[in-house]
């Protein structure tokens, strides 16, 4: 809206500059000031007062600068978060692949009493002769047996941990 627009709207309302100024409680010079401007600041205090009487076009909605800034920063942070997540997932996938193919020294106790020197099956800890190909027990009986063995193993581990805690450093 130009100053000329403002003057035209005022005149259409049948008001002089002085009358308009008095109605809304601003100085007459404020009215003439804005009517001489090329662009009327819709959000200026005096203009807002005039809008209480005149039917001025609405001010375009403009986000406060600070809000725009926060919004941009949030966008940037979200973008970086997504990037970081993608990178972490890529690294995780790589580690998983490495782990799945890793072959370690078997180390199972042999009949001679020494540690087995074979390489384990990929991604497993034992060689093909010492259970590296095993997919675990299948029968109910076998599953119960391994469950019991694990229970005993962890019980032993717990009691040993308690002992080493008591012994202290
Ligand atoms: Zn072995």
Digit-by-digit pLDDT tens for the chain (169 residues) are 889 888 988 888 888 999 999 998 999 999 999 999 999 988 899 999 998 888 887 766 666 677 777 788 888 888 899 889 988 988 998 899 898 999 999 999 999 999 999 999 999 999 999 999 998 889 999 999 999 999 999 999 999 888 777 665 5
Task: Say which residue the tokens 């005096």 belong to.
Answer: 46
Residue 74 lies inside a defined structural domain of this protein: yes
Do 7 and 46 belong together in one domain? yes
* Residue 157 CA, ligand 1 centroid: distance in Å: 24
Residue 126 lies inside a defined structural domain of this protein: no
In terms of Cα–Cα distance, which of 108, 135, 136 is closest to 120?
Answer: 108
Question: 105 by DSSP, 3-state: which?
Answer: strand
* Residue 151 pLDDT: 96
* Residue 94 CA, ligand 1 centroid: distance in Å: 27
Number of domain units in the chain: 2
Do 10 and 45 belong together in one domain? yes
* Residue 133 CA, ligand 1 centroid: distance in Å: 11
* Residue 28 CA, ligand 1 centroid: distance in Å: 101
* Residue 25 pLDDT: 92
- Let me know: does 20 contact 54? Beta carbons within 8 Å: yes
Residue 58 lies inside a defined structural domain of this protein: no
* Residue 113 CA, ligand 1 centroid: distance in Å: 12
Do 44 and 67 belong together in one domain? no
Residue 43 lies inside a defined structural domain of this protein: yes
* Residue 59 pLDDT: 65
Residue 154 lies inside a defined structural domain of this protein: no
- Let me know: does 127 contact 138? Beta carbons within 8 Å: no
* Residue 167 pLDDT: 63
Residue 148 lies inside a defined structural domain of this protein: no
* Residue 53 pLDDT: 84
Query: Cα dihedral sign for 18, 24, 25, 31?
Result: negative
Do 15 and 37 belong together in one domain? yes
Residue 24 lies inside a defined structural domain of this protein: yes
Q: Which tokens is 110 given?
A: 């042999």
Residue 118 lies inside a defined structural domain of this protein: no
Domain with 12, as residue range(s), is 3-51
Do 45 and 9 belong together in one domain? yes
**Of 29, 51, 73, which closes a domain?**
51
In terms of Cα–Cα distance, which of 136, 123, 133, 129 is closest to 107?
Answer: 129
**Of 101, 129, 159, which closes a domain?**
101
Looking at the chain, how many residues does it have? 169
* Residue 62 pLDDT: 64
Do 96 and 76 belong together in one domain? yes
């Amino acid at each position: 809206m130009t100053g000329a627009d403002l003057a035209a709207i005022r005149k259409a309302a049948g008001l002089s500059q002085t009358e308009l100024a008095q109605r809304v409680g601003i100085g007459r010079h404020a009215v003439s000031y804005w009517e001489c401007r090329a662009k009327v600041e819709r959000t200026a205090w005096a203009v807002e007062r005039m809008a209480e009487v005149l039917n001025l076009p609405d001010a375009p909605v403009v986000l406060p600068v600070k809000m725009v800034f926060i919004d941009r920063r949030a966008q940037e942070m979200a973008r970086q978060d997504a990037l970081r997540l993608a990178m972490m997932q890529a690294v995780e996938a790589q580690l998983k692949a490495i782990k799945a193919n890793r072959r370690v020294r078997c180390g199972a106790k042999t009949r001679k009493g020494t540690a087995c020197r074979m390489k384990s099956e990929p991604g497993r800890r034992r060689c093909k002769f010492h259970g590296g190909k095993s997919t675990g027990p299948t029968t109910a009986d076998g599953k119960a047996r391994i469950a019991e063995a694990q229970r005993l193993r962890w019980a032993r581990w717990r009691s040993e941990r308690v002992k080493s805690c008591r012994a202290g450093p």
